[in-house]
Chain A
Amino acid sequence: MSQHSKVLIIGSGPAGLTAAIYTARASLQPLVIEGEPSSTSDQPGGQLMLTTEVENFPGFPEGIMGPELMMRCREQAARFGAQFLTEKVTKIDFSARPFQAWVRDQHYTADSVIVSTGAQSLMLGLPEEQRLIGHGLSTCATCDGFFFRNQEIIVVGGGDSALEEAQFLTKFASKVSIIVRRDTLRASKIMQERAHANPKISFVWNSQVTKIVGDASVSGVELRDTVTGATSSMAVTGVFVAIGHRPNTDLFRGVLDMEDSGYLITKPGSTYTNIAGVFACGDVQDHTYRQAITAAGSGCMAAIDCERWLEAQH
């Protein structure tokens, strides 16, 4: 069985859903293969599904919860006729038109494709990580913070997401130490000020986690000083990692042009990829801005690029 659509959108964060709203309003009846449930940001709705309050999305002066914002975008796209499939694309073939995509043995064809698969959080890459996920090591602060009431925990990372997680976790934990690789933070000024003002947050500078210790569950970490090389250990029951993201582009390797880091390359000032009729938007092609609003903006660009390209094919 095969299903054809004029526009196939892969991924459903702010970029994919904005592209869906625009192409649906243009009566292109997009099919959105939105991804499948996961406790990482590689899931329907994307990274915002793991956040709490979004304070910088225009139009919400009181702020809005990340998951609610995404649910509303999805409803908006559905209202104009976008179709959703809660699955993850397992294979693509963009070598000929119509373009092809598969979800296991289900086959989909499309006149055009918008790639908006986003990015997912990086883990530390330590061998004990798989064993300790769910046992003190968490990929989702909003899901798991609750279990660390009155405990001492760490957040690894120095960017906005690390500071936001730390701030959130102080609702539960008695002490949150932020492990930062350098002696400065990448995070925005407002997040830094909030973290410094929070009495439960402290910083461990120039440090790297080299090992997570624990049998049945996390009991501590080993740290290495990035300047002196000295090692130390720290007793904590929870480890939250927010050290950055990698784009979800494994599916497109060897097909779409990408940087060494995996980010898709688009023609400057547009969402065109190296394959005519395939467009990319959102964090999958942006390692600079990576905001909900910029993702949404590029999703709109992809929809307009796509619509014009489709028109020109006739």
Chain B
Amino acid sequence: MAGNIATLTSANFDETVRSADTPVLVDFWAEWCGPCKAIAPVLNELATEQAGKLQIGKLNVDDHGDIAMRFNVMSIPTLIVFKNGEAVKRLVGAKGKGQLLQELAEFLPASR
């Protein structure tokens, strides 16, 4: 657990994305992936700023390849948004914060 970001594993993945009362953004990443490291600070910021609207979890594809395979992840970073346990949106490749917010706008009710 790093700040507001949940560490997802083969053991807790299904439970986490199913039971969440907000959409869950899952970051499929690995230690050896440069672009994955580059978006880590962006995800940390989003987790703090969007707390209560969007939950963020990280899944290490090296350690939990079964989950990555289940969702046909063949490129990282891949970000998948889950709503009630269903994968509803998939973003492939690292993106900046502005671009990411735009892509995620449909899941972030404008309450401010």
Q: Which residues of A pack against B, CB within 8 Å?
A: 36-40, 43-45, 49-50, 66-67, 86-88, 104, 133-136, 138-140, 142-144, 146-148, 216-217, 238
Q: List A contacts of B50 (CB < 8 A).
A: none
> How close is A29's CB to chain B, nearest CB, in angstroms?
23
Q: List B contacts of A144 (CB < 8 A).
A: 74-76
> Size band of the B side of the interface?
20 to 34
Asked whether A37 lies within 8 Å of B35 as measured between CB atoms, the reply is: yes
20 more contacts with CB within 8 A, not counting A135-B72, A135-B92, are A37-B35, A37-B95, A39-B35, A40-B93, A66-B34, A104-B98, A133-B75, A133-B92, A133-B93, A135-B75, A138-B75, A139-B93, A142-B33, A142-B34, A143-B76, A144-B75, A146-B61, A147-B75, A216-B72, A238-B74
Q: List B contacts of A44 (CB < 8 A).
A: 38
- A-B pairs, top 6 by smallest CB distance, nearest first, are A36-B96, A134-B92, A39-B93, A134-B75, A37-B94, A37-B38
Q: List B contacts of A87 (CB < 8 A).
A: 96, 98
Q: List A contacts of B38 (CB < 8 A).
A: 37-38, 43-45, 49
Q: How far is the CA of A62 from the CA of B96 in the complex (A)?
A: 33
Known A44-B38, A134-B74, A147-B73; contact A86-B33, beta-carbon cutoff 8 A: no
Q: Which residues of B pack against A, CB within 8 Å?
A: 30, 32-39, 41-42, 61-62, 68, 72-78, 92-99
Closest A residue to B41 by CB, please name it.
Answer: A86
Q: Tell which of B32, B78, B92, B99 touches A142, judged by Cβ atoms closer than 8 Å.
A: B32
Closest B residue to A140 by CB, please name it.
Answer: B35
Asked whether A43 lies within 8 Å of B74 as measured between CB atoms, the reply is: no
Secondary structure at the A interface, as helix, strand, loop or mixed, is loop
Closest B residue to A143 by CB, please name it.
Answer: B33
Known A67-B37, A143-B36, A146-B30; contact A136-B74, beta-carbon cutoff 8 A: yes
Known A143-B35, A143-B36, A146-B61; contact A36-B98, beta-carbon cutoff 8 A: yes
Q: How far is the CA of A146 from the CA of B62 in the complex (A)?
A: 9
> How close is B40's CB to chain A, nearest CB, in angstroms?
9
